[in-house]
Structure 1
Amino acid sequence: MTTQIKNLFRLKSIPEAGSEKHDTMQILAEENPEVRKRTYHEAGFRDGSRNIGTPQALSICLKAIYAKFQNEEKELVDKQKQIKQPYINEQNNKETEIKALSISKENKQEQIAAMDGKIGSIKDMIESLKFEINDLARDPEKYHINAKKGASTKFWIGLIILIPISLYLFTFYISTSYSAFFKTFDPNSNLMMNVLDPKAFDKAWADGTLEGAFVSFIPFVFLGLGYLIHMFSENKSIGNYFKIGLLFLITFFFDAILAYQIEEKLYDLNKTFDSPPFDLGIAFTKIQFWGIIFAGFVVYVIWGLVFDFIMKEHREKDKIKHEQQRRQKNILIHNVRITDLEKQKELLIKELNNIKELIAKAQGRVAELQRIIDAVIIPTKEYVLYASEYLQGWITFIMEGLFAPQTRKETLVSECITTYHEDLKNVGASEDSLNSIYLSVV
């Protein structure tokens, strides 16, 4: 074992006694690697001889050696630049990346601001449409709508009037048509009971299906005539005016037929052997004849006028309602647009946050690289090399220059090697990672 240790740590050139004139701290400043290795070896031999090779002294000397090595590396400006160049290049790349990310960040922020502007503008449009929906009925002309104000009120008033008139016409025509065509007049009943029978509807259905259907649907004939009059009146033309006049004549003649039939039955109840046959001349002289005509025809004309009025009002009301519905649809469309824009905004915000994270990471890396660049970088591989040379010189003294038993020398060597490895561990160097570098703490 003694021979192996001697061969392992044999000094290539043992310094002469006069070599002490060379200061250890001065010889470590040499830049030539081979010279530095030799001087570290010689310094280890000399310091070992001064301290009798004790591990405690070795630990102190290694700390001093590391501090001096650190200072030497700091003074080697060109070498530090060369070692730091990859970090400088990476820092430049990161700064370029940060500039690109900053531009992208500004673009995203501008896009988000533009998106907010669009959303705000659409929301303002929705509020404006909501106001127009409420204001349309009050002032349609303000929105260039050719509709009368208050059309809705007039419509409902006309409808309220039309409903009882319609019920009156149903009652009148059911009763008069039954009296005119199917009823047998009772001489013991008064005049009004014969003309207007309150149970005409039930009696007609009791008499038969044909009679019941006739009296039930005949009012719709008159209402249909009134509806046709309204439809023809919408298109102003001579032909339509002729048709309207014809419809009025038809209605009048139909009422006259009903009045004639009823008056004839009333005349037959009271006629004598001397009474002439009933004809139009006699009918025209009867007040009941004209009463039935006007009770039906005049009311029918009133119904037609009211119906025409509410239809026109409904058309005016429809104009406003149509515009309101159109605005409601526009509001729905705008809400869909807002939803789409909100989704796009969320994506932009997510992308912006990712960019901010990348910028923060890059800035953190730049700061970390700057600390590396500002600090002294110690080449671990070189320090381990020179420290091992120093240890070899120290052990060479123990094995060849120390006057002590062989077992004592071997114990010192083992303890010094352990101390050496502990020192490497303490300063962050390791023989397992010789190519790594680390920062000194100053």
Structure 2
Amino acid sequence: MDTTSIKNLFKLKSVPIEPKQEQFSKKEIDPTNESLEETRKRTYHESGYRDSSRTNGNHSTLSICLDAVYSKFQNEEKEMVEKQQKLKESYVNEQKNRETEIKALFVSQETKEEQLKNKDTEIESYQLTIETLKGEILDLPRNPEKYNVKATRGASAKFWIGFILLIPITLYLTTFYISTSYSAFFKGFDAKSTIIQSVLDAQAFSKAWNEGAIEGAFVTLIPFVFLGLGYLIHMFWENKTRANYIKLGLLFIVTFIFDSILAYEIESKLYELNKTFDSPLFDIKIAFTKIQFWGIIFAGFIVYIIWGLVFDFVMKEFREKDKIRNEQEIRQKKIDFFQEKINVLKKETEEIQTYIGTIKETIIKTRGRIEELQNVIDGVIIPTKDYKLYASEYVQGWITFIGEKIAVSRTEKQTMIDECIATYNTNLETVGANSDNQNLVYLSSL
């Protein structure tokens, strides 16, 4: 038989098996028939002897004959159905285990895909909630009652209008009380000064500090006393109780008295500049008759009341505005919370997607292994160690003929034997009989 035609019939694949299969022998298949192996050995030995006699022990012909021997051995093994079933048992079991593994992997994949779907739904729900909260943040200043927020709509505009008005009024009061307090307690008047110049001195602040630290500190800090009184008006007005009304009245009286003192001091200095020998001493009755006395009082006291009312209005509007801002901050905190939840869910979905990808790769590999196992089951398992035993019997028969029948010198005969042994070893390497694998699997070439 031609070597090429023999090799084309089957293709070779090495497959490791379990250690217990390495101990398998024909005796394990049929332990009662001990003479079968000896008969098979003798048959191969005789075939080797006979084939050698036909070719005069030629080592090149031996290579072709060993290919035919291997093909014959393969066919014999294929016919041993019970032995093949034993040899393939581990592959069949592994295939069943792999199929069970695939089913478990599919169940795990479906579970993870369901988890992924649920987490995607959660993310969409949170994102929708975030968009709703963002819309509420924008809409709160316009429609606070829509969200059960007890705040006046448009409070922000009223607040800024009041705040802008409060700034120049505060500057006016500061300027007025610095100037009047300096004029009342520290300034010396002369006859050339007009009433306006006597009351309002543009350089009152610097002059007071030039005269001394106490004078400077007094005129600098006194406006804050009136601003503080105005703040107290707001505080007492917030809680409308009888006690607070009394306190509020007392504040107005104290402020009016203080402004009256400033006006009295200034008016008395002006009176001293203009009095004659017949003029009576300046007293409260005379002060009440002077227009500039009441002008100083109302220039400070009335503006002070206006400042207190505007301040109270601004604070109320700020409180209304603050209600809306607090509601906006609450919604912003919810947005931050939901966004954090989304970030955690996205991280979990990435992990699940990675896990699903790993499962799919494992399924592909397991299916590939099942196909490999099926090919092994459909093929023929050749116990290469057994082949080595029978091939050695064949070669022994071949060499026996050379030793007994070929009439050549001892040296030539030994050379022929060495060449035959080399050919035998080459054949063993070719079929894998010298490898660590116990068995080889032949798959039919389609």
Does 1:396 find its partner at 2:396? no
| CA drift at 1:162 | 0.7
Q: Which amino acid aligns with 2:244?
A: N
Rounded Cα–Cα distance in structure 2 between residues aligned with 1:136 and 1:31: 102
The correspondence of residues 172-251 of structure 1 with structure 2, limited to 5 A, is: 172-251=176-255
1:437 aligned partner: 439
**Secondary structure at 1:440 match in 2:** strand
1:160 to 161, 164, 168: 164
| CA drift at 1:346 | 4.1
1:316 aligned partner: 320
1:361 aligned partner: 365
1:169 to 150, 173, 197: 173
| CA drift at 1:421 | 2.0
Rounded Cα–Cα distance in structure 1 between residues aligned with 2:340 and 2:172: 52
1:381 to 372, 380, 385: 385
| CA drift at 1:106 | 3.0
| CA drift at 1:341 | 3.5
| CA drift at 1:98 | 2.7
Q: Which amino acid aligns with 2:305?
A: V
Q: 1:275 to 1:33 in 2, by over 3 A?
A: same
Q: 1:412 to 1:197 in 2, by over 3 A?
A: closer
Rounded Cα–Cα distance in structure 2 between residues aligned with 1:407 and 1:216: 134
Deviates more, 1:259-268 or 1:309-318: 259-268
Q: Which amino acid aligns with 1:266?
A: L
Q: Which amino acid aligns with 2:226?
A: F
**Secondary structure at 1:95 match in 2:** helix
| CA drift at 1:409 | 4.0
1:64 aligned partner: 68
Rounded Cα–Cα distance in structure 1 between residues aligned with 2:83 and 2:146: 84
Does 1:89 find its partner at 2:93? yes
Rounded Cα–Cα distance in structure 2 between residues aligned with 1:180 and 1:249: 20
Rounded Cα–Cα distance in structure 2 between residues aligned with 1:196 and 1:56: 135
Rounded Cα–Cα distance in structure 2 between residues aligned with 1:279 and 1:425: 139
2:49 to 32, 38, 45: 45
Q: Decide whether the 8 Å contact of 2:378 with 2:443 is kept in 1.
A: no
1:20 aligned partner: none
Q: Which amino acid aligns with 2:439?
A: I
| CA drift at 1:319 | 1.7
Rounded Cα–Cα distance in structure 2 between residues aligned with 1:292 and 1:414: 140
**Secondary structure at 2:382 match in 1:** strand
1:428 to 405, 423, 432: 432
1:418 aligned partner: 422
2:129 to 116, 125, 128: 125
Q: 1:205 to 1:419 in 2, by over 3 A?
A: closer
Deviates more, 1:387-396 or 1:267-276: 267-276
Q: Decide whether the 8 Å contact of 2:49 with 2:399 is kept in 1.
A: yes
Rounded Cα–Cα distance in structure 2 between residues aligned with 1:408 and 1:198: 140
**Secondary structure at 1:147 match in 2:** coil
**Secondary structure at 1:32 match in 2:** helix
Deviates more, 1:233-242 or 1:275-284: 275-284
Q: Decide whether the 8 Å contact of 2:209 with 2:215 is kept in 1.
A: yes
2:271 to 230, 255, 267: 267
Q: 1:221 to 1:53 in 2, by over 3 A?
A: same
1:255 to 241, 253, 259: 259
Rounded Cα–Cα distance in structure 1 between residues aligned with 2:274 and 2:214: 30
**Secondary structure at 2:276 match in 1:** coil
Rounded Cα–Cα distance in structure 2 between residues aligned with 1:199 and 1:220: 19
1:332 aligned partner: 336
Deviates more, 1:243-252 or 1:32-41: 32-41
1:75 aligned partner: 79
1:283 to 284, 287, 296: 287
| CA drift at 1:375 | 1.1
Structure 2: gaps (5+ residues)? 1-33
Query: Size of the alignment, in residue pairs?
Result: 411
Deviates more, 1:373-382 or 1:384-393: 384-393
Q: Which amino acid aligns with 1:374?
A: D
1:13 aligned partner: none
Rounded Cα–Cα distance in structure 2 between residues aligned with 1:264 and 1:411: 152
| CA drift at 1:350 | 4.1
Using the size of structure 1 for normalisation, the TM-score is 0.84
Q: Deviations over 1:46-68 (max 9, x none)?
A: 22233333223322222222112
Q: Which amino acid aligns with 1:440?
A: Y
**Secondary structure at 1:178 match in 2:** helix
Rounded Cα–Cα distance in structure 2 between residues aligned with 1:197 and 1:300: 20
| CA drift at 1:323 | 2.6
Q: Deviations over 1:302-324 (max 9, x none)?
A: 11111001111111122222233
| CA drift at 1:300 | 0.9
Q: Which amino acid aligns with 1:372?
A: V
| CA drift at 1:31 | 10
Q: Which amino acid aligns with 1:105?
A: Q
| CA drift at 1:333 | 3.5
**Secondary structure at 2:362 match in 1:** helix
**Secondary structure at 1:438 match in 2:** strand
Q: Which amino acid aligns with 1:290?
A: W
Q: 1:86 to 1:189 in 2, by over 3 A?
A: same
